[in-house]
Amino acid sequence: MTTFEVFDVYADDDATMQELRGLLARCSEATLRSRCHGGTPGAARLLLEALPSRADQLTVAAWTEQSMVGVASMLYDAGGIEIAVLVEDAWQRHGAGTALAARLAEEAARDGVLAVTASVGTTNTAGIGLLRKVFPALALAAPRGGLITAVCPVVTGAGR
Ligand SMILES: CC(C)(COP(=O)(O)OP(=O)(O)OC[C@H]1O[C@@H](n2cnc3c(N)ncnc32)[C@H](O)[C@@H]1OP(=O)(O)O)[C@@H](O)C(=O)NCCC(=O)NCCS
């Protein structure tokens, strides 16, 4: 299995942001829609490119030796912490999503957070499978509006 390096993404790091734009350009419409729960590919790319400059988030990226292949964010708000993960099509099913979600789980555990949430489409087998792998004790809420909220208890070392 490929080994991925996971690093924080900072909006003022021009080279990293250029890589992020390249990654988003390579993602299919289906992948972008799954990550953003609909919308146009253009809007999804703009949203995801803008995320690292927000104050209420942590964004991390997975890299091969050649390029950035995935990105994941943890969004903090009064209601809790929500995570979301995206891996470009050509690199899906190689472990990058696991590496990204496990890194966010470690960050949450370090902050003393007991659980994070994630929203996935009801037909998103890959997304639900990823969450089950990294957060084995997760609880799925009843679907609403085509989305399921997963409450994911944080355990360090998960998904390894
Ligand atoms: C969901 C997503 C991030 C998974 O990333 P990934 O790098 O492919 O995931 P991994 O290779 O680490 O796989 C982790 C687990 O997810 C599940 N999984 C991933 N892709 C799957 C698929 N196509 N079908 C079924 N299960 C799948 C498996 O349980 C897998 O574990 P295994 O390889 O030991 O069987 C990726 O498919 C993606 O970017 N999808 C579009 C965006 C999205 O849906 N985001 C929401 C997630 S919060």
pLDDT, tens only, 10-66: 999 999 999 999 999 999 999 999 999 999 999 999 999 999 999 999 999 999 999
159 pLDDT exceeds 80? no
Q: Which atom of ligand 1 is nearest to the CA of 130?
A: 16
157 pLDDT exceeds 80? no
How many other C-beta atoms are found inside a 10 Å radius of the C-beta of residue 154?
22
Q: Domain-by-domain residue ranges, the chain? A: 5-112
CB 95 within 8 Å of CB 4: yes
Strand pairing class (57-63; 68-77): antiparallel
Q: How far is the CA of 140 from the centre of ligand 1 (A)?
A: 17
Residue 156's pLDDT band, with cuts at 50, 70 and 90, is low
Q: How far is the CA of 124 from the centre of ligand 1 (A)?
A: 9
Mean pLDDT of the chain: 95
Nearest alpha carbon, ligand 1 atom 21: 126
pLDDT, tens only, 75-130: 998 889 999 999 999 999 999 999 999 999 999 999 999 999 999 999 999 999 99
Q: How far is the CA of 132 from the centre of ligand 1 (A)?
A: 10
What superfamily in CATH does domain 5-112 come from?
A: Gcn5-related N-acetyltransferase (GNAT) (3.40.630.30)
158 pLDDT exceeds 60? no
Q: Compute the distance between CA of residue 5 and CA of residue 129 in angstroms, rounded to an integer.
A: 22
